[in-house]
Every structure is written in structure tokens, then in C-alpha cells.
Chain A
Amino acid sequence: MALLGRAALIVALGLLAYAALAGALAAFRGRRRLAESARNALVAALGATAVASLVLLGALAAKDFTFTYVAEHTSRELPLGYTLAAFWSGQEGSLLLWLLILLGLGVSAVFLNGRLTRDVLPWVVPILAGVATFFAVLLVFVATPFATQAAPLDGLGLNPSLQNPYMLAHPPLLYLGYVGLTVPFAFAMAALASRRTDERWIVATRRWTLAAWAFLGIAILVGAKWAYEEVGWGGWYAWDPVENAALMPWLVATAFLHSVMVQEKKDMLRVWNAILVAGAFVLSLFGTFLTRSGILSSIHSFTQSSIGPWFLGFITLVIAASTALILWRLPLLRSRTRLESLVSREAAFLYNNLFLVAFALTILWGVLYPIISEALRGVTVTVGAPYYEFFAIAFGLPIVLLMGLGPLIAWRRASLRALGTSVLWPAAAALVTGAVLLSLGAGSSPAGLIGYTFAAFVLAAIVHEFARGTRARRATGSATWPRAFTSLVGRNRRRYGGYVVHAAIVLLLIGAIGIGGFSSSRETRLEPGESVTVAGYTLTLLGSDQRRAANSQELRARLAVERDGERLGTISPGKNRYFAEEQTSNEVAIRSDPLRGEDLFVIADQFRGQTVFLQVIVNPLVNLIWLAGLVFLAGSLVTLWPDAREQQRLARRFAERDSALARA
């Protein structure tokens, strides 16, 4: 069936090339049937790509080792879940998933926004098809998942570090984020190409941008959870180049989601928004390039491959084309209004944009510098965590402060007196929190103390906003407090969902400061019966065990855990020896305390006879990072939930336009 997969990809490539060229010609010349034909070709390409994907999935499920891809990424003993997840574990499968998601999202966006952006769609189709053509070319000519061979007796298996439940979800979520950013990019560029630079492309793509941003955010956190459990160094984010590659487009998309509100409400920042949309998309391509090219040494670089130059060429082409288009349409993008005051919501959004983009650019420089250094000077350098942490604090703290201040400031202009009244309670709560933490000894990490004080300010500001908003709704007729609250959120989902997301970021900040500034660690060697105590936890080695699992041999140290004289059970860190892969992986043991939010994290570095070399870490508040993921998801869902009032407004506007057209 590899032949069918190959044929389907060739058909998809032909259709996409046609959709790109015919679509561009139709849009340029104003040919209706050709534009419809290009759109249909995009839909057909989705069908063909789905067929290719099914062929690969079928081969994986059947463990058909005549497929080189299947033989290289699975083995007979690999459990079914990981076998199917091998679809996105290798480079070729990942590229196929990219193409499938891109076409799925692209076709959905084209059909769901057909009415709103009727004038723009003829350009959207060729742009989406152009991006998809690039991936189809890679899949047909450079990295096909349908190469065949004489079937070996067994496959090479899956990289042990990928055999983790979080890895089942992380790559698809990440790709939904990366690929989802193609939709706003395509609509923005189409709006520029068609000279329809009004608000419609923003309205049409708002939810797509939000969804892509939410997927990317969740993917980063799921990836962090995977790294915490699987890579096992005791941290959750290592400023690894590939982790950074996902963070950069997320930061830029975050900036866009804020600045686009300024465009909607004030008709400002049009050029800036076009740059941000293009920047987020380019960075998502760059992220895929970093992950898949093998150009950087990274825990994520599972392959060394030849697709790097292709990606570099395509990224260059996208940057050149979008820059040219923005410059060409610059006269259409000039704002008609100006910033009225430096103390206003839009000014706060502008400041937050500058910090977010500056942070993204410093990360980009940290990622690029080793590549440039090696290319130009032949010197291998590494940009380590201290560089990133310095800028994370330098830019992160003002961003957090603005997260608290922004919601308290009115649009257009705010008097200092009104601002002072709004800020009073949150500031008081923050100062009290800071003073209490200082008295408890949190001054050992000044940045941590400032971070916690700012976090308290943001949380108090959010609570304040919800409280006075609910009170205002109650005063205007809501029968009960709960009804006033739901009415408040229901009428402005973006604003209040955004506040929930802010709360999630604060939780993440609290957790990150906890693990970064206040964790305790100790390395030791234990014989059976010996104990070690770290941050109130006492661990006693009971012995070591071995057992055979489905596809590995497991070696575990058994440790009894006590805290303040109370027995908490046993934990078993150790190592797995995978048969097919012929690799050994560290399997850390984690004991979470949901009430304290802390983790006891134990790594068994070495086993020598009955002696075990251990690293014991206590990570305070780390569980708030994972809780932040759930709160982030909840906030994102609130913002994404369809707003009936907005639908009515748009429907009214369409009705006005359609009736005017009918009369014309």
C-alpha cells in the first residue's frame, strides 16, 4: 500500500501547485470559476493527504516493516499507543502531520469565513496552497514516509524518551499551534494583496489565532511536563533551543492578540499587526526547522536530516514576500487615529507588546548566535540558561506588572486620580503579600520576592475587576449575584477569559519562581538501610528490584519516604533498558503533594551492586505550573466560546451589505 500513499501525496502536490498558481491567477485577473476551481483543488488535496495519512497509520498499526519509516520508529514489542504515535515521532511523519493539519485548518477557515471575507478568499486560497505546496514537495521529493525495503525481522523501535504519555499529545498540540498560525497569516497577506485592509480579516481570523495560540501554549506546558518527568534533571524548562522555538511564536502571537484589540477599537497599529502576524508564522516555520533540521544539538533533535536548506530557503522566501507586501500596501495601513494618552489601555497594550517582542527577539538571538558563530567563525558556543533567565526577569517582570495594570486602566484616556483609585486595593494587597513573604524569609531570592509581589498585584487586580464588574451588572438589573457574574463573563468573553488566562500566567510564575528560586537538592550514595534528609523529607533505601516490562527491563531502587515522622509510602526511581532500541533511560520518581503544591523528585543516577547513587530534589510550588495549564485551558475556552451578540452584529452587517448590493 506504500504505492497508494506515494500516489496520494503526488496527487496532493499536483492539486496544491494548481491551487496556488490558478488561485493566484484567478485572484489577479478576477476569474470566478478559476477561483472556485482552486478552492476545490485545496479541498481535494486535503482528501488526498488524508488518504496518505491513513495508509501510514494502517502500516503502523499493522507494523508493516516493509515501510522503512515503520521499521525505523517502531518494534514488535512497542505498545500500540506509542506505535500509532510514531506517526509524528519521525521527520517524515511529522511533515505529513503538518500538511494534514494545515489543509484541515485551511479548508475549514476558507469555508467558515466564506461570507465574511468573500473579497479576500480568492487570495487566501493560493497563499494557503503555496505554504502547503512546500510541505508536499518535501514529502514527495525529500522526505517521503512511503519509502519501502525488504522487511527486517524487527524494527529499530521508538526513542525511549518519546515513550511517555505526554509525548502522545505534545507533538500534535504543538503542530496545531504552529500550523494554526498559518491561517491568520494567510488572511492577513490576502487582505493586503486584495487591498481589503479593513477589520474583516481580523474578525475572520480572531478565533483561529486564539485557538492556535492556545494550542501552542498548552503544547509548551505539556512538553514541559514531559521534560520534567522524562528528561529528569529536576527542572521543567531548560531554555533548550527547540523549547525556545515554540516559545517565540507564542510570545509574538500573545503580542498580536493584545495589539489587534487596539486595531479593532482604535484603528491603530495596523502595520504593527501585519508584522506580528507574519512574524509569528515565520517563527513557527523556524521552530519546525530547528526541530527537524538537526542544526542544533538539543534534547529534541531526534534526527539529522537534509531538509534544513529547504526550510531555510522557504523561510527566506516568506520573509521577503511578506515584507514586500507590507511595504507595498503601506499607504493602506496608515492609522487614522493616534494615541490619545500615555496612560490608557491601548498605551498599556503597546508597552506590553514592546516587552513581549523584545523578549522574543532576545530569545531568537540566543538561539541564532551559536549557529552564526559556528558558520562564520567555526567556533562552537552555547548560550546557557543564565542569559535567558536574565532577560526573562528583565522583560518578564514589567510584563507581569502591566498584566495587572492594563485591566485597571480605561481605554482612550485615564486620569491619574481614577487610576489611583483603581490601583489602590491591588497595590495594597501586593505590598502586604511582599511584606509577609519578606518576614518569612523569601528575601533570599530578591527577584523571586519581587515576582511574588507582582503576582499578588495581578491576582488582586483580576479579583477586583471581576468583583466590580459583577457589582455593576448586579446594579443594572441582574437578579442574583451568580447571574450577574455569568452575565458579566458571557457579555465580554474575550476580556474576562483573558483575565483567567492572566491568572494562569501568574500561577505559572509562582510555580516557576518556587522551583527556580527556592528548591532544595542533595546528591548522595545510599546502602540498604541508610537514609538521607532533604527539606524535611527523609528517604531510606529499602533495596533494589528488577522486572521485565513489555519492551524493557526495569531496574528500581525502593525508598521509604517520611516527612516530620509521618510515613508517606515508598517511591521507586530507576532505569529502563529497552531491548529493541538498545538504549537505557532514567526513570525518575516523583511524589506530589497537591496541598503544598510541591514535589519530591528523586533520580537514581547509578546502581553499583546494592549501592544506589541518588539525587534528591524538593521542588516547592511546582504543581502550580501544571495547574496553570488547566486554568490557561479554561480561560482560552472562555475566550474562544462563540459570542451570540457578536454573531448578531455581524449578521446585521451582512444583511445591510447584501441588501445594499441587491439594490445597487
Chain B
Amino acid sequence: MIESLALALGAALAVACVLLAARPFLREPGSASDRLREPGPLERERVRVEEERDRALGALKELEFDHRTGKVSDADYRDAAGPLRRQAADALSRLDGMMRPTMSMPPEEPRVPEPWPPPDEGDLPDPAPTPAPGEPTPGPNDPGSPQHPPMPQTGGPRTL
């Protein structure tokens, strides 16, 4: 009796499992679109550039924080921030370029990135003016300077 019950339960289990596995074919017996989505070269490139953008923005954020805590000197901060901002701006520019052909919006200038992720309200003080080329950047401990290094100029919210 118990053996018969076990056999019946085993058979029911097998049938249920097979039905579950076969469900995609039962639900769409003659599907015309049976291809897995294959990202094209453009999408792969965009993923790569998005990662570059996020990496550069993340590195900028980290650099800001390390500078604030004194882990990065003013000179090191100046040396590192510029290339990172250029990398981020370059990635944003390329992303804009990739999306433009498929968008009906008018082209716009690439924006210099704000620190990412955007600071919460009250997270960072108002940005200080960007120094002119050659002018030394005030450090966190310079007298009269704000408690943070100059922030990159923002162009409003990012619209990617």
C-alpha cells in the first residue's frame, strides 16, 4: 500500500516537473521570436562606456572623500582629479554620441560630471568656484577655504 502510494507520488512528481520544464513550449507552441536577445556591438560598447563613466565618477567621489579625510594631499588631489574629470566627461560625451542617432532630442554639449552619486541635500557645501588655470587649488586645511576642495561645475541633472 505504502509502496503504491510512493509510486503514485513519484509519478505525479515526475509529471509535474516535466510539465514545468515543457511550459515555454506549451505556452508558445509556434513562437516566431524564438531567439535569445543578442546584444549588438553598439550595446556592448555602450555597456563598456557606461562602466567607464561610473568608474570615473566613483573614483572622483572616493578621491573627494579621501582628500577630505586627509588621506590624499592637496597636490595629489589636483593631479588625480583632472584626469578623472576628463575621463568622466569623455565617457559622457561618447554616451551622448551613441544615443543621439536614436533620439529626437536636439544635441547638447557634454556636461562635466558632478560627483557621483549626487550628494544628498546638506551632504556637501555649495561648490567653490573653479580656480583659473595655474591658480593653486585651496586645500581642506587652507585658511579661509571651505572645508572641501573645489567641486566640478555641474550642468544640471544628468540626462542619460
Contact = CB atoms under 8 A, between A and B. Distances in A.
A37 B71 contact: no
A477 B125 contact: yes
B117 to A, nearest CB: 5
Nearest to A8: B13
B122 A37 contact: no
B20 to A, nearest CB: 5
Contact of A15 (B17, B51, B59, B63): B17
A215 B51 CA distance: 30
Contacts of A51: 13
Interface in B84-107: 99, 102-103
Interface residues of A, number: 70
B109 interface: no
A44 B21 contact: yes
Given A8-B10, A415-B76, A648-B117, A30 B69 contact: no
Contacts of B71: 408-410, 414, 418, 422, 468
Contact of A649 (B13, B21, B54, B68): B54
A476 interface: yes
Q: How large is the interface on B (under 10, 10 to 19, 20 to 34, 35 or more residues)?
A: 35 or more
**Interface majority SS (helix, strand, loop, mixed), chain B:** helix
Contacts of B22: 37
Contacts of B99: 660
Contacts of B38: 30, 119
A11 B70 contact: no
A198 B48 contact: yes
Given A1-B2, A645-B117, A414 B68 contact: no
B73 A472 contact: no
B76 A413 contact: yes
A117 B73 CA distance: 39
A417 B24 contact: no
B6 interface: yes
A385 interface: no
A36 to B, nearest CB: 4
A267 B51 CA distance: 9
B117 A26 contact: no
A437 interface: no
A476 B6 contact: no
Given A1-B6, A33-B31, A410 B17 contact: no
B16 interface: yes
A35 B36 contact: yes
Instruction: Output the residue of A196, A264, A411 with the most chain B CB within 10 A.
Output: A411
Nearest to A52: B13
A11 B18 CA distance: 9
B75 A477 contact: no
Contacts of B103: 663
A32 B33 contact: yes
A476 B66 contact: no
Interface string A1-14: 11110111001000
A413 B73 CA distance: 11
A476 B31 CA distance: 57
Interface string A110-151: 000000001100100000000000000000000000000000
B103 to A, nearest CB: 7
B128 interface: no
A412 B87 CA distance: 14
Contacts of B21: 15, 18-19, 37-38, 40-41, 44
A44 B66 contact: no
17 contacts: A8-B10, A15-B17, A32-B33, A40-B20, A41-B21, A44-B18, A47-B17, A264-B55, A265-B59, A418-B71, A421-B70, A471-B69, A475-B68, A475-B147, A476-B147, A477-B124, A656-B160
The 9 closest A-B pairs by CB, nearest first: A7-B10, A44-B17, A477-B122, A4-B6, A3-B6, A36-B24, A41-B21, A33-B24, A663-B102
Interface of A: 1-4, 6-8, 11, 15, 18-19, 26-27, 30-38, 40-41, 43-45, 47-48, 51, 118-119, 122, 196, 198-200, 264-267, 408-415, 417-418, 421-422, 468-469, 471-472, 475-477, 645, 648-649, 653, 656-657, 660-661, 663-664
